[in-house]
Structure 1
Amino acid sequence: MAITDTRPGAIVLLTDIDASRSDEPDHLFHHDGRPFTTAEYELLSTCTPTEIDIAVAHMQPVGDWMSERQTVQKALIGLYMKYAYQMPDAFPDSVYDLMTEEDYSEFERLADIVSADDAFEEHTGHEQD
């Protein structure tokens, strides 16, 4: 697929995956908490490595720095999509089953970091209110 054939909708969808959700590991959610639709799963299953690379690169904020949280989120999405684009079906409900033990352990470690960071931000946000 040539770079001119990239689909902006696919790239935007990739950047909206909330990879920190561990309460329902067989389902994907948007950052705002909405579950992915069947159509969105179908779109994800057709994402190309180029689209994935663009989405992951897009997570880099303007400037030369990236927060630890952004770095972890970028790694989570990259690791998830390493397997998701290989899914044979339109609904990637077993993407974690495709992961090697090493990648799955790393994915869990990164998800725990993001979850702990979310809990910390929520706690400190309540203190400021």
Structure 2
Amino acid sequence: MKRILLVLSFVVVSLTSKAQTFSGTGGAIPDNNNYVYFPITVSGLSSSVIDSSFGLQSVCINLLHNNDYHLTIQIVAPDGTTIDLSMNNGGTGNNYTNTCFSGNAITSITAGSAPFSGIILLREF
């Protein structure tokens, strides 16, 4: 089975600020079992620690792939902490269109089917 790993890397810098939105560019995800990284530099945050009073509200993606089951989607902090957003979900369906992962969502990614869209509960919650 071929697996692709999409990792969004977040670089956190301690500065005073309010809620912010960060985005990055994507690229091709080949079916060759290699990891693919799409880094996003995050700066201007008031804390370098994600805890109960400070953290990510959501992670939103648009991802085109012909077999979502092959994908592992994660975010990775600079210290190596990894949060799984989705792993081997969607069967042979394709795409994540305007899909937002949130710890406050009601519907689990494992309860949905591809194509995914809308607000989905993080896999690890």
> Could you state the TM-score of these two structures normalised by the residue count of structure 2?
0.30
More strand by share: 2
In proportion to residue count, which structure has more helix? 1
Q: TM-score, normalised by structure 1?
A: 0.30
Name the structure, 1 or 2, with higher relative contact order (CA <8 Å, separation 6+): 1
